[in-house]
Amino acid sequence: MGAPNHNMRTPLARVRGLGSARSGTEHFWRQRMTAVANVPLTIAGIVIVIALLGRNHAAAAQILGSPLIAIIMLLFIFSVATHMRIGMQVVIEDYVHEEKMKFALVMLNTFYAIAIGLASAFAILKLSFGV
Protein backbone atom coordinates (compact mmCIF):
# COMPACT_ATOMS: atom_id res chain seq x y z
CA MET A 1 0.00 0.00 0.00
CA GLY A 2 2.06 2.94 -1.25
CA ALA A 3 -0.22 5.96 -1.65
CA PRO A 4 -2.08 7.16 1.45
CA ASN A 5 -5.82 6.52 1.41
CA HIS A 6 -7.53 9.85 0.69
CA ASN A 7 -10.84 8.08 0.30
CA MET A 8 -13.59 8.61 2.89
CA ARG A 9 -14.75 5.05 2.36
CA THR A 10 -13.41 2.34 4.62
CA PRO A 11 -11.38 -0.48 3.06
CA LEU A 12 -14.20 -2.90 3.94
CA ALA A 13 -16.78 -0.77 2.10
CA ARG A 14 -14.51 -0.64 -0.93
CA VAL A 15 -14.05 -4.41 -0.96
CA ARG A 16 -17.77 -5.01 -0.64
CA GLY A 17 -18.35 -2.57 -3.50
CA LEU A 18 -21.99 -1.96 -2.65
CA GLY A 19 -21.94 1.84 -3.02
CA SER A 20 -24.35 4.38 -1.57
CA ALA A 21 -27.47 2.39 -2.46
CA ARG A 22 -26.05 -0.57 -0.47
CA SER A 23 -27.12 -3.09 -3.05
CA GLY A 24 -24.28 -2.83 -5.52
CA THR A 25 -24.99 -3.93 -9.08
CA GLU A 26 -27.43 -6.65 -8.05
CA HIS A 27 -30.46 -4.98 -9.62
CA PHE A 28 -28.53 -4.09 -12.78
CA TRP A 29 -27.36 -7.64 -13.25
CA ARG A 30 -30.68 -9.27 -12.36
CA GLN A 31 -32.49 -6.96 -14.81
CA ARG A 32 -30.24 -8.14 -17.63
CA MET A 33 -30.40 -11.79 -16.63
CA THR A 34 -34.21 -11.76 -16.60
CA ALA A 35 -34.15 -9.78 -19.88
CA VAL A 36 -32.18 -12.59 -21.53
CA ALA A 37 -34.54 -15.20 -20.05
CA ASN A 38 -37.58 -13.19 -21.14
CA VAL A 39 -36.70 -13.39 -24.84
CA PRO A 40 -37.26 -17.15 -25.39
CA LEU A 41 -39.96 -17.25 -22.70
CA THR A 42 -41.91 -14.40 -24.33
CA ILE A 43 -41.74 -16.08 -27.74
CA ALA A 44 -42.93 -19.35 -26.15
CA GLY A 45 -45.64 -17.47 -24.26
CA ILE A 46 -46.97 -15.84 -27.44
CA VAL A 47 -47.06 -19.22 -29.20
CA ILE A 48 -48.92 -20.76 -26.24
CA VAL A 49 -51.48 -17.93 -26.13
CA ILE A 50 -52.09 -18.16 -29.89
CA ALA A 51 -52.46 -21.94 -29.65
CA LEU A 52 -55.08 -21.47 -26.95
CA LEU A 53 -57.16 -18.82 -28.73
CA GLY A 54 -60.63 -19.91 -29.62
CA ARG A 55 -60.49 -23.13 -27.64
CA ASN A 56 -63.15 -24.04 -25.12
CA HIS A 57 -62.48 -24.06 -21.40
CA ALA A 58 -61.75 -27.77 -21.08
CA ALA A 59 -59.12 -27.68 -23.82
CA ALA A 60 -57.50 -24.49 -22.51
CA ALA A 61 -57.36 -25.88 -18.96
CA GLN A 62 -55.87 -29.16 -20.16
CA ILE A 63 -53.18 -27.53 -22.31
CA LEU A 64 -52.18 -24.94 -19.68
CA GLY A 65 -52.00 -27.67 -17.06
CA SER A 66 -49.83 -30.05 -19.08
CA PRO A 67 -46.34 -30.31 -17.52
CA LEU A 68 -44.24 -28.73 -20.29
CA ILE A 69 -46.60 -25.78 -20.88
CA ALA A 70 -47.08 -25.26 -17.13
CA ILE A 71 -43.32 -25.20 -16.50
CA ILE A 72 -42.73 -22.71 -19.34
CA MET A 73 -45.53 -20.47 -18.04
CA LEU A 74 -44.18 -20.64 -14.47
CA LEU A 75 -40.68 -19.67 -15.65
CA PHE A 76 -42.19 -16.88 -17.76
CA ILE A 77 -44.19 -15.49 -14.83
CA PHE A 78 -41.24 -15.68 -12.43
CA SER A 79 -38.86 -13.95 -14.84
CA VAL A 80 -41.41 -11.31 -15.86
CA ALA A 81 -42.42 -10.49 -12.27
CA THR A 82 -38.77 -10.06 -11.25
CA HIS A 83 -37.99 -7.96 -14.32
CA MET A 84 -41.02 -5.69 -14.05
CA ARG A 85 -40.47 -5.08 -10.35
CA ILE A 86 -36.92 -3.80 -10.91
CA GLY A 87 -37.98 -1.83 -13.99
CA MET A 88 -40.83 -0.04 -12.25
CA GLN A 89 -38.62 0.70 -9.24
CA VAL A 90 -36.21 2.51 -11.56
CA VAL A 91 -39.11 4.50 -13.05
CA ILE A 92 -40.38 5.43 -9.57
CA GLU A 93 -36.91 6.47 -8.39
CA ASP A 94 -36.45 8.58 -11.53
CA TYR A 95 -39.68 10.55 -11.25
CA VAL A 96 -40.81 10.53 -7.61
CA HIS A 97 -38.52 12.66 -5.46
CA GLU A 98 -40.62 13.07 -2.34
CA GLU A 99 -39.11 10.56 0.09
CA LYS A 100 -42.26 9.22 1.76
CA MET A 101 -44.15 8.89 -1.51
CA LYS A 102 -41.16 7.19 -3.14
CA PHE A 103 -40.83 4.77 -0.23
CA ALA A 104 -44.55 3.92 -0.38
CA LEU A 105 -44.57 3.43 -4.15
CA VAL A 106 -41.45 1.25 -4.16
CA MET A 107 -43.12 -0.90 -1.50
CA LEU A 108 -46.42 -0.99 -3.40
CA ASN A 109 -44.48 -1.99 -6.51
CA THR A 110 -43.04 -4.99 -4.69
CA PHE A 111 -46.49 -5.98 -3.42
CA TYR A 112 -47.91 -5.76 -6.95
CA ALA A 113 -45.13 -7.83 -8.53
CA ILE A 114 -45.38 -10.54 -5.87
CA ALA A 115 -49.19 -10.59 -6.04
CA ILE A 116 -49.23 -10.91 -9.85
CA GLY A 117 -46.51 -13.56 -9.81
CA LEU A 118 -48.07 -15.60 -7.03
CA ALA A 119 -51.63 -15.39 -8.39
CA SER A 120 -50.47 -16.52 -11.84
CA ALA A 121 -48.34 -19.32 -10.41
CA PHE A 122 -51.23 -20.48 -8.24
CA ALA A 123 -53.57 -20.60 -11.24
CA ILE A 124 -51.06 -22.62 -13.30
CA LEU A 125 -50.36 -25.05 -10.45
CA LYS A 126 -54.08 -25.47 -9.79
CA LEU A 127 -54.64 -26.40 -13.44
CA SER A 128 -51.60 -28.65 -13.39
CA PHE A 129 -52.52 -30.58 -10.28
CA GLY A 130 -56.17 -30.65 -11.29
CA VAL A 131 -57.70 -29.75 -7.95
DSSP secondary structure, 69-131, as one string: HHHHHHHHHHHHHHHHHHHHHHHHHHH--SHHHHHHHHHHHHHHHHHHHHHHHHHHHHHHHT-
> Which residue type occupies 7?
N
Interaction residues for another protein, span 76-105 (CB under 8 A) = 77, 80-81, 84, 87-88, 91
Closest approach, Cβ 45 to another protein, in A, equals 8
When the beta carbons of 13 and 72 are compared against another protein, the nearer one is 72
Sign of the alpha-carbon torsion through 75, 78, 82, 88: positive
Interaction residues for another protein, span 7-66 (CB under 8 A) = 32, 35-36, 38-39, 42, 46, 50, 53-54, 56-58, 60-61, 64
Burial of 73 (0-12, 13-18, 19+ CB in 10 A): buried
When the beta carbons of 46 and 101 are compared against another protein, the nearer one is 46
Contact residues: another protein, CB under 8 A = 32, 35-36, 38-39, 42, 46, 50, 53-54, 56-58, 60-61, 64, 73, 77, 80-81, 84, 87-88, 91, 116, 119-120, 122-124, 126-127
